[in-house]
Amino acid sequence: MSGVIGLWMLACVALLMILTGLPAWNLLIGVASIFSVAGIAFDLISPTLFTALPSRLLGLLESDLLQALPLYVLMGVLLNRLPLAQALFVSGSRLFAPLGASRPLAGLGLGVLLSPMNGSVGASVAMLSKTLLPRLDEAGMAPARSAALVCMASTLGVVIPPSLVLILLGDAMLRAHTEAVNATHVAVRIVNTQDIFRGALIPAAILVALCLIAAWLTNRCSDHGPVERPSAGQWLTSIVAATLILGLLGSVALGYLYAVEAAATGGVALFLFGLATRSLTRPVLREVLRETMAISGALFALLVSATMFTLVLRTFGTDRWIAAWLAGLGGGPYATLAVVVTMLLVCAFVLDAFEMIFVVIPILLPPLLVIIPDATWVAVITLLILQTSFILPPFGYAVLMIGNRLARPVGTRAMAIALAPYVVLQIAVLGLVVAAPSLLWRVPDPPAAAGTSGGGLSDDEIREQFEKVMREQSADSVPGKAQGGQD
């Protein structure tokens, strides 16, 4: 069965990422090229495969949503270069001083405000570690607890709209849901990015509240030393910045602004702040633009390489093979969901959020949405899995990033103990969302169209209809392709 070849492709990419340390986009293009040449040589796929690639790339890059990508990267770089984070932290520490654990609470609050605008977890770790770690060390906090707090604060932007991860996940879910609806012919409204934003709001609010309580309980006796008194300028900067950021986040989450508009507004506001404070000098601006171009280029390279990789994988029929396998599992929707969640969690140990969204989600989620049509619920579960994977030691992305920025090394055991309360809370919120889909805020689906059956489809019908749509889509994207030897 040639459908299994795509799984070998994924395994090769994961293994090479661990062994070589090369950028993911290099490995995705390299592995896809080698397997496609081998497939053509053994007459498993047709050479016309490559004629479909340009149209797929052009159609992908025409998406207006991608305009937000470099804007979010620009905001993240500016936040890392400007003194805004310091002003917010000092003011927040003073504000939380009567509660005890003022610095940890201010650090998490800083993550809530700035992480959604940072573009990536890596950018959030860089910005927050520079701002928080020296001040937490001065307060006498243990290095492991300081590192754990920075890790958790850096990942809060994953689930708080309108983070870049949420935007790209919303686009991937739209595509996956479209495939599933085409397979089942059920009259439902296709999920969009705004649905994902709203669905994530309540779980994000619960997680933030629980993390603030955990930070207060675990650090209220270890936060020593006088709290720095902010200047009048820092108070003014903090009030204006917090008001503007919360206004932008709320406007996007509630649908008053598009994500691209909010990102552009935030970028202009940060640029003006840099000019007003004279911190955005010509050399700094040059570095900001260079770093923004480098990171944006890497993300677009990843997007293009993932498009080529998934095209080759689909040509081998791996998506249809996975759909048939999931449909034949039995045990009901929750058993299928458990299998897919486990697969996503395993992949997330090796791949970061963008690689998961571009490579893994387009393969695993369409067949899951055929069986479980609640796309918003599945998207929020996926989002929480991605966030949890960032703080799971020893290979969580945020854990690895913070390890390179600590003045004193922290052992794996100490780091795991410090992160344990936050990991438990993450899993608890994930379990709550799984057990109570009605918890999510969502737009009601329109009434079913006339003539549409109100009953569910059998496993055989689901598998048959999904495979039919996959065959039609493969034929459209790769004209004249030979399907011999598949499935």
At 38-49, the pLDDT tens digits run: 988 888 888 877
- Judge contact between 284 and 331, C-beta under 8 A: no
- Judge contact between 77 and 292, C-beta under 8 A: yes
Tell me: pLDDT of 458 over 60. no
- Residue with structure tokens 């030691």? 393
How is residue 459 written in tokens? 């496993």
Compute the mean pLDDT over every residue in the chain, rounded to the nearest whole number. Answer: 82
Which range (30-34, 104-108, 188-192, 209-213) has the least confidence?
188-192
pLDDT single digits (tens) 363-381:
889 888 888 888 999 999 9
Check residue 449 and give its pLDDT.
38
- Judge contact between 326 and 340, C-beta under 8 A: yes
Tell me: pLDDT of 450 over 50. no
- Give the pTM: 0.82
Which range (212-221, 263-272, 472-481) has the least confidence?
472-481
> Domain boundaries in the chain?
2-441+460-466
The predicted model gives 138-163 an average pLDDT of 86
Residue 457 pLDDT level (bands cut at 50, 70, 90): very low
- Judge contact between 161 and 258, C-beta under 8 A: no
Q: How far is CA 460 from CA 188, 319, 367, 446, in A?
A: 21, 17, 13, 27
How is residue 11 written in tokens? 């395994």
- Angle, CA of 363, 368 and 372, to the nearest 5°: 155
The predicted model gives 303-317 an average pLDDT of 88
Which range (310-314, 397-401, 429-433) has the least confidence?
397-401
The predicted model gives 293-310 an average pLDDT of 88
